[in-house]
Amino acid sequence: MPVFDQGYQHWSGTLTGHAWRWLAITRHGVRVALTNRWLRIALFVSWLPAIALATALCLWGLLEQQSALIQSLTPLLGFLDRQMLLDPRAYRQEAWTLAYGYFMLTELRLAMLLILIVGPNLISQDLRYNALPLYLSRPLRRIDYFLGKWGVIVAFLAAVTVVPAIVAYVLGILFSLDVGILRETFPLLLASVGYGLIIAASAGTLILALSSLSRSSRYVAMFWLAIWLGSGVIASVLQGIEHEQRRHASERFDRRNPSTFVEQELTAARTDWRPLVSYAANLARIGEELLGTPAAWDKVANLRAGSERDMARLRNVGVQYPWTWSAGVLLALFGLSAWILNRSIKSLDRLK
């Protein structure tokens, strides 16, 4: 009696599509990453700024309504200009913009930490255990493998940037009780979501490229730290040297005319290329442009009078060079990362 009969049996079921093959890799990667205790702690910490953002938007909504609940908290709002407290609805867009700006800047730093925990093992571990032939022996293309690994990064970064931004926005709308707020703030929500996706696309592709260069995840982590922290330190040193030279040059400046000094600082910042050395600073510059935080700071600073206005503008002098410079740097890094991934995975696809 034969164990089985040889023959062909027609499949009459429903075939699944090929477009979502990468999703299985993403699901497995997320499930494995969540077993890391440090990652769970980092995710919890990353949601604390989201709670602060939601609280700020809700309090501003109560302030617009002149709610009795906000009266007891008025002494804590002394850092706001009196005109903003008297007519908060007129400065709603600026308040929301600055709140989202602080939130996204904080989450950018925490996102770099999340990538340090999640990213190094994504491809280097497959190289270490020679798992690429197992992946590519299945009906998977190189693009499916790449998208699956990239989806792991996107999932975690979206969980700490995009999702909290949407949740805080909904809470802010509910506490505002004004239909007009949608028209004023909806572009800000789109900018926040778009910025979160830009961080995921740029940083995710870069860490995957680094992960494909070594079988040791420790080396990959050191590469990432060099790009994240090392480039930031170098940029800070270069900026410090340049600021010191400007300070010596400004010792002859007439202190009785601070407006001219502020204008000189702003003019120098618009042509200062040194922050381009920092990877995180380039991402932050794109975020400022998308969210519109410089314009919001200018409007808030103009509420002050005389020297107070000049000092407020001077405190908020940050990266002022054209955002297209940072976009060019990030696009170049994205192209280099894609080229590295294409060469690395292509050679493995041939099972050399």
Number of domains the chain is built from = 1
Domain that includes residue 144, residue range: 36-349
pTM: 0.84
In a domain, 14, yes or no: no
In a domain, 2, yes or no: no
Please say whether the beta carbons of 103 and 52 come within 8 A: yes
In a domain, 20, yes or no: no
In a domain, 11, yes or no: no
In a domain, 76, yes or no: yes
CA-only gyration radius of the chain, Å? 25
In a domain, 279, yes or no: yes
Mind listing the pLDDT tens digit of every residue in the chain (352 residues)?
A: 555 555 556 666 666 666 788 888 899 999 999 999 999 999 999 999 999 999 888 888 888 777 766 666 666 666 677 777 777 788 888 889 999 999 999 999 999 999 999 999 999 998 888 887 777 776 778 888 899 999 999 999 999 999 999 999 998 888 877 777 888 889 999 999 999 999 999 999 999 999 999 888 899 999 999 999 999 899 888 887 877 766 666 655 545 555 565 666 666 667 778 888 999 999 999 999 999 888 887 777 776 665 555 565 556 656 678 889 999 999 999 999 999 998 887 644 454 4
CA distance 114 to 176: 33
In a domain, 4, yes or no: no
H or E element in which residue 105 lies:
helix 92-118
3-class SS letters over 288-328: HHHHCHHHHHHHHHCCCCCHHHHHHHHHCCCCCCCHHHHHH
In a domain, 254, yes or no: yes
Please say whether the beta carbons of 30 and 155 come within 8 A: yes
